[in-house]
Amino acid sequence: MSGGTLVLAVAGIFGFFVGAYLAATGDHRTGVMMMALGLMFQVLCLRQLRQARLKDQHDARR
């Protein structure tokens, strides 16, 4: 797992939790936007993990 993948995972978790806190404490619009941004980072992280797995499978078949 590369460093970029880890950064995306941490940014996604942090962004989602900050968004949930903001949405719960009153700034609803900003909180929802932060949660959406966190989920986007998580999707990008999962995409990179899937591409790495497929590359490893392809390399193993050679």
What pTM was estimated for this model as a whole? Answer: 0.81
pLDDT < 50 regions, the chain: none
Supply the angle between the helices 28-60 and 3-25 in degrees, to the nearest 10: 160
The number of beta carbons lying within 10 Å of the beta carbon of residue 62 is: 4
DSSP secondary structure of 1-61 = --HHHHHHHHHHHHHHHHHHHHHHHT-HHHHHHHHHHHHHHHHHHHHHHHHHHHHHHHHHT
Q: Which domain holds residue 47?
A: 3-60
Domain tally, the chain: 1
pLDDT of residue 3: 87
- CA–CA separation, 61 and 32 (whole Å): 44
pLDDT of residue 61: 75
